[in-house]
Amino acid sequence: MNKFPICPIFIPANKLTYVEKAIKSGADGIIFDLEDSILLNDKPKARENLFKYLSSNNPDAIIYIRINDLSSENGISDLEMLSELNFAFIIPKFEDEGNFNKISKDIKIIPLIETPLAINNLDKIAKNEKVIGLSFGAADFSSMIGSEMSWDAMLYARSKIILECSINNLISIDSPFMNIANMDAFENEVKKSKSIGMQSKAAINPSQISIIKKYFLPTKDEILEAKEIINLYKKSNNGVFSYKGKVIDKPIIKIMENKLIISGNN
């Protein structure tokens, strides 16, 4: 699996001065946005400025670029100009296998799953060699199916994304929480997102970063425990053994290994 950020933050491509603040907040990934946050008339200039910025700057974070819909001229222009920078693209309104025909073989992408058709075709989308992950867009998805953007209403879509990421060894990025004033509700969603298997949660404000890390990153004690369990497993001649009253087998070892990968201790 590719290295992935736990808490990537969206930054409008016309607000590049926000990068330093985002990194200082603890964000380990940046999603430069050319889509929703940029007015139509401003998109060409934002694209050009982003290209210049990323050509001469190297932010200390994993970089993704959310381009415009590939059915639009701006989306195609985004892809053509920015593909030589060798960053992965988050592509909105990605619905079926036909979208891959517009993307050259060497480009890595994270389809943004935000329509009913995308959910319906998810197994075909996820297995393509260009795909390194799947990202969920709850706002657009809820508007298209006519539901609330509540946890229960979005649970099926999230669960299907998690399953396909697991099957195809992809990263999963959960949708950002849009109400930055309601931190209690945000924390509740972050906790639930982690509990069902999402690997990261996108942020839209630096104030959200610490809460995402709280639930998505293992604690020091969990890291030490994982290392100890893995060491004991390597020394054990049995496929199953006991650790502090807990039964340890291969699936548990995989969970421990994942904790070390996420924490950077692998």
Residue with tokens 């969970």: 255
How many separate domains does the chain show?
2
Same-domain check for residues 126 and 254: no
Residue pLDDT, tens place only, 202-227: 999 999 999 999 999 877 877 888 78
Same-domain check for residues 181 and 163: yes
* CA 43/CA 37 separation, integer angstroms: 10
The burial class, CB within 10 Å (0-12 / 13-18 / 19+), for 134 is buried
pLDDT value for 248: 81
Residue 178 covered by a domain: yes
The parent domain of residue 16 ranges over: 8-216
Same-domain check for residues 170 and 39: yes
Same-domain check for residues 212 and 224: no
More confident residue, 5 or 242: 5
| pTM score above 0.75 | yes
Extract the tokens encoding 110.
């994270």
Same-domain check for residues 69 and 146: yes
264 pLDDT band, cuts 50/70/90, is low
pLDDT value for 128: 95
CATH code of residue 148? 3.20.20.60
Residue pLDDT, tens place only, 162-196: 999 989 989 999 999 999 999 999 999 999 999 99
Same-domain check for residues 195 and 232: no
Same-domain check for residues 152 and 259: no
Residue 50 covered by a domain: yes
Residue 1 covered by a domain: no
Domain C-terminal end among 216, 238, 253? 216
79-87's contacts with Cβ under 8 Å and 24+ in sequence apart are: 79/103, 79/107, 81/47, 81/48, 81/51, 82/47, 82/50, 82/51, 82/54, 83/107, 85/51, 85/54, 85/55, 87/54, 87/63
Same-domain check for residues 85 and 24: yes
Same-domain check for residues 231 and 140: no
Residue 45 covered by a domain: yes
Residue 144 covered by a domain: yes
* CA 162/CA 36 separation, integer angstroms: 25
Residue pLDDT, tens place only, 85-142: 989 999 999 999 888 999 998 999 999 999 999 999 999 999 999 999 999 999 999 9
Residue 3 covered by a domain: no
Same-domain check for residues 204 and 237: no
Q: Helical H runs in the chain?
A: 19-24, 43-56, 73-82, 116-120, 122-126, 138-145, 151-168, 183-196, 209-216, 220-235, 250-263
Residue 198 covered by a domain: yes
Residue 258 covered by a domain: yes
- pLDDT exceeds 60 at position 6: yes
Same-domain check for residues 145 and 226: no
Same-domain check for residues 126 and 256: no
